[in-house]
A and B are shown apart, each in its own frame.
Chain A
Amino acid sequence: DAKTTQPPSMDCAEGRAANLPCNHSTISGNEYVYWYRQIHSQGPQYIIHGLKNNETNEMASLIITEDRKSSTLILPHATLRDTAVYYCISDNDYKLSFGAGTTVTVRA
């Protein structure tokens, strides 16, 4: 079972930042936080991951709280093509646990 909690859905306006929260209150010291997304029925796409520090790449930023019990994925300028199910995974195991994720709908 997934060890993270995410809101089931959220809407975002095109061009605005999308902030996706994730709770992982039982995370242990060596567990990373991974974010993937699945657009329609395609394969999951890796977005970003982190352990303690905030991370940024060409797709998104990941903000992890100091106690590591929660994190936020930030899509800086959402586009219609960012509409997808976003999965937050905290794990140190190769068996990635995909929960229900957050269905993000970007509206024009």
Chain B
Amino acid sequence: DTEVTQTPKHLVMGMTNKKSLKCEQHMGHRAMYWYKQKAKKPPELMFVYSYEKLSINESVPSRFSPECPNSSLLNLHLHALQPEDSALYLCASSQDPPDTDTQYFGPGTRLTVL
């Protein structure tokens, strides 16, 4: 089983709202990732968690706050977003970073900021 699940599938929020995206995997993977993808562009890495610790933050604005409560779960807390933050947010996981191991992606959450 190589499934990564993400909820919700779609999210619409105002600039003053606080919301969270959730990602879950049950493959025993120890690395989890958040990516942002704009239309017709490749995914851009945001954060990497390795063994439940934040290992990479790609200079992401503080209005995005990641959290890894346990090895299977990854959250992305959103606050005071801007319309330009509207995008597809993808979660991925891999067996063991920073290896060359394969990343498996979830279906994404399509976020619209009004």
Q: Do A and B bind each other?
A: no
